[in-house]
Chains A and B, each alone.
Chain A
Amino acid sequence: MASLTLDGLTKSYGDNTVVQSVSLGVKDGEFLVLLGPSGCGKTTTLRMIAGFVPPSGGAIRIGERDITQLPPWKRNAGLVFQSYALFPHMTVAENVAFGLEMRKVAKAEIGPRVAEALRLVRLEGYGERYPRQLSGGQQQRVALARALVIRPDVLLLDEPLSNLDAKLRLEVRLEIRALQQQLGLTTVMVTHDQEEALTMADRLVVMSEGRVRQVGSQADLYERPADLFVADFVGRSTMIAGAVTGPGAFRSDGGLVLRCTGETPQGPATVALRPERLTLGADAAGLDNHAAGTVSFVSYLGAMLDVHVRLNDTDHVVAQIPNRADGRIPAVGDTIEIGWPASACLVFPREAA
């Protein structure tokens, strides 16, 4: 295992730049997730690390070794694909042994190492089966064993869970994460599923339009998003358009005056509010920002309730509140007090469109 460094990595096709100067460091044993909507360049970045896409600029290093110009078969990167990509004409054991044979590992050593890899992914005894005889989850675990057995410098996961059904996904997610930690694998995973990203990652990279928008921990992205895109993409936010009118003061287009924190300069801006930071009812009155609104919609989510509150003709917010046994469920049309602390307002200057 080793660290992985991307230095100003760029990929363009003609005038179309799909990855723009991406610089990242993945520490030894760290699980880094590239997160972003489709077309954001995350997959191209991963494929450049794997060696399938030649970069237009920049460098890739594993430890101190510059691998930018190396072909994929000399990179020692373990790769797991969304489509599993098992060799259909080989048994599970032959699939796992393939990488060892390529490395000219002694025959006597291959058997035990294959068995060990299959044990790691809890597939002992499946060695003689063919991939088509396995379920999707089992196939993906074989793919993982095949990538791990070569003791790769980095493990690359390309949307590894997207083809699995929802229940299995939760299972394999935890399994991959546990293995990764147990073996101390330097890992880069690409996904568009933020829940997946949040549960698995040590650190996350949010990308959009070929650029890195923010690098940070789950809490960094959620509580301190770097820009409006991240605030919108990670978790849920209610957006209120308006302008910063002075230090800690914001006025919405609908005329709402809000107190907020931060040093956003005066000018057009947007406030993002996380639904769970809002308080409904009598407790709202004591908070920095409070107003009366009309309940326009209620979603019953089981443990939680989503309450949509219209504050005036243009502004409306969504509050998420726990569904308590003693609590009264607001009804559509109710007039309700709503409030939130100044610190809940995430203020972003409006991007010049």
Chain B
Amino acid sequence: MATITQRPVGEPGALTAAGLLVPASLFVAIGLLVPIAILFRYSLNAFEPGKLMVDALTIANYVKFFSDPFYLQVLWRTVRVAVACTVFCLLFGFPLAYVLARTQSRFKNLLVMAIVLPLFVGNAVRAAGWMVAFGSKGFINASLMGLGLTSAPIEIMYTELAVIIGIIAVNLPFMVLTLQSVIEGIDRNVEEAAFSLGAPPMTMAMRVLFPLALPGILAGVILTFILAMNAYATPVLLGGPKFQTMGPLVFSTFAQQNNWPFGGAVSFILMTATLILTVASTLIIRRRYA
């Protein structure tokens, strides 16, 4: 049994540890909390064309968002895309992470590199690559038509599907790496014990592997969901101007319409939605497996 050594509070070590926390804490406070607070204050201001932002204390911006079907549509689309991406990342990522965690191959490091490699390419560059692939004369359509599988090009570009595929490609490495490190910590013998007790592979996975990998599943789901909710480059480039999601909407409200109060409100709605859904998914997964 492991023993827990406790260091009495007030020993020099405690001070050093506190000291090491200061830079990160300051950074988070100044770089994140302060802007968020300012943004929140802005979101309660009023907007007058010509005068831009006017000091006020009103919830008009939030009312505007939730009473306009267009904005609700954008929010719903963003959530739908993010959920779809997260689910597929988990479905695709788990087997990959499992193989990566369990392989005895001497090429394991190369495999990990292959998973990480896409992260070396920026989002925008990658999305540009997908544009080439998805276009009506692109690689995919050319192949399908060349093989005689389709007679006319399939519309992939500027659809929800294109955006979902694009975001999955961006987020998958995060999911895989998160899951892999957790699965590596699970004793292989525990799986074998389940097999020897009569559990076929799927049952073993449901009863033993998933519950034990739960911390990794949660971390991976949270990470990829947040990334998908806030995606910017991928929906802009692959979704096109008509495919609005929350990330681009925040930017255009601020930068193109100069409507800072409403931009602040949209930002806050996005942040809150992300937080609520993350907590909800955490609770659901926990209840399901633990």
Residues of A in contact with B (beta carbons under 8 Å apart):
50-52, 71-79, 81, 83, 85-89, 98-99, 102-103, 135-136, 143, 146-147, 150, 156
Contact A73 B200 (CB under 8 A): yes
Other A-B pairs, 14, CB within 8 Å; known A72-B196, A136-B1: A52-B192, A71-B195, A72-B192, A73-B197, A73-B200, A74-B198, A78-B196, A79-B196, A81-B192, A81-B193, A85-B189, A87-B194, A98-B207, A146-B197
21 contacts between A and B (CB under 8 A): A52-B192, A73-B195, A73-B199, A73-B204, A74-B198, A78-B196, A79-B192, A83-B187, A85-B187, A85-B190, A85-B192, A86-B193, A87-B208, A88-B190, A89-B211, A89-B290, A98-B207, A102-B197, A102-B199, A103-B198, A147-B196
CA distance A73 to B208 in the complex (A): 14
In the complex, which residues of chain B have a beta carbon less than 8 angstroms from the beta carbon of A71?
195, 200
In the complex, which residues of chain B have a beta carbon less than 8 angstroms from the beta carbon of A76?
198
Closest to A150 in B: B197
Closest to B207 in A: A98
Contact B192 A50 (CB under 8 A): yes
CA distance A88 to B193 in the complex (A): 12
Contact B190 A150 (CB under 8 A): no
Query: Does B212 interact with chain A (Cβ within 8 Å)?
Result: yes
Would you give the shortest CB distance from B276 to chain A, in whole angstroms?
27
Contact A102 B192 (CB under 8 A): no
Would you give the shortest CB distance from B282 to chain A, in whole angstroms?
17
Contact B196 A75 (CB under 8 A): yes
Query: Does B203 interact with chain A (Cβ within 8 Å)?
Result: yes
In the complex, which residues of chain B have a beta carbon less than 8 angstroms from the beta carbon of A147?
196-197
Contact A77 B211 (CB under 8 A): no
CA distance A135 to B194 in the complex (A): 22
Q: Knowing A98-B207, A102-B203, say if A87 contacts B195 (CB, 8 Å).
A: no
Contact A51 B211 (CB under 8 A): no
CA distance A81 to B188 in the complex (A): 11
In the complex, which residues of chain A have a beta carbon less than 8 angstroms from the beta carbon of B192?
50, 52, 72, 79, 81, 85
Contact B212 A88 (CB under 8 A): yes
Q: What per-residue 1/0 map shows which CB atoms of B161-204 lie under 8 Å from chain A?
A: 00000000000000000000000000101101111111110011
Contact B1 A102 (CB under 8 A): no
Contact B198 A85 (CB under 8 A): no
In the complex, which residues of chain A have a beta carbon less than 8 angstroms from the beta carbon of B1?
135-136
B-side interface mostly: helix
Contact B193 A79 (CB under 8 A): yes
In the complex, which residues of chain B have a beta carbon less than 8 angstroms from the beta carbon of A86?
190, 193
Would you give the shortest CB distance from B286 to chain A, in whole angstroms?
12
CA distance A88 to B290 in the complex (A): 11
In the complex, which residues of chain B have a beta carbon less than 8 angstroms from the beta carbon of A103?
198
**Quick one: which of A72, A136, A143, A150 contacts B195, CB cutoff 8 A?**
A72
Would you give the shortest CB distance from A289 to chain B, in whole angstroms?
51
In the complex, which residues of chain B have a beta carbon less than 8 angstroms from the beta carbon of A83?
187, 189
- A-B interface, 9 closest residue pairs, ranked by CB to CB distance from nearest: A102-B198, A99-B197, A85-B189, A79-B196, A72-B195, A85-B193, A81-B189, A89-B211, A85-B190
Contact A99 B198 (CB under 8 A): yes
CA distance A222 to B1 in the complex (A): 37
CA distance A286 to B212 in the complex (A): 70
CA distance A150 to B194 in the complex (A): 12
In the complex, which residues of chain A have a beta carbon less than 8 angstroms from the beta carbon of B189?
81, 83, 85
Q: Knowing A85-B189, A87-B190, A135-B1, say if A50 contacts B196 (CB, 8 Å).
A: yes
CA distance A135 to B2 in the complex (A): 10
CA distance A78 to B187 in the complex (A): 18
Q: What per-residue 1/0 map shows which CB atoms of B202-231 lie under 8 Å from chain A?
A: 011001100110000000000000000000
In the complex, which residues of chain B have a beta carbon less than 8 angstroms from the beta carbon of A51?
195-196
CA distance A147 to B204 in the complex (A): 16
Would you give the shortest CB distance from B74 to chain A, in whole angstroms?
40
Would you give the shortest CB distance from A85 to chain B, in whole angstroms?
4
CA distance A198 to B203 in the complex (A): 39
CA distance A156 to B196 in the complex (A): 10
Would you give the shortest CB distance from B4 to chain A, in whole angstroms?
12
In the complex, which residues of chain A have a beta carbon less than 8 angstroms from the beta carbon of B198?
73-74, 76, 99, 102-103, 150
Closest to B289 in A: A89
In the complex, which residues of chain B have a beta carbon less than 8 angstroms from the beta carbon of A87?
190, 193-194, 208, 212
Would you give the shortest CB distance from A33 to chain B, in whole angstroms?
20
CA distance A79 to B194 in the complex (A): 10
Closest to B212 in A: A89
Contact A98 B187 (CB under 8 A): no
CA distance A345 to B41 in the complex (A): 97
CA distance A71 to B198 in the complex (A): 10
In the complex, which residues of chain B have a beta carbon less than 8 angstroms from the beta carbon of A98?
194, 197, 199, 207
CA distance A98 to B211 in the complex (A): 14
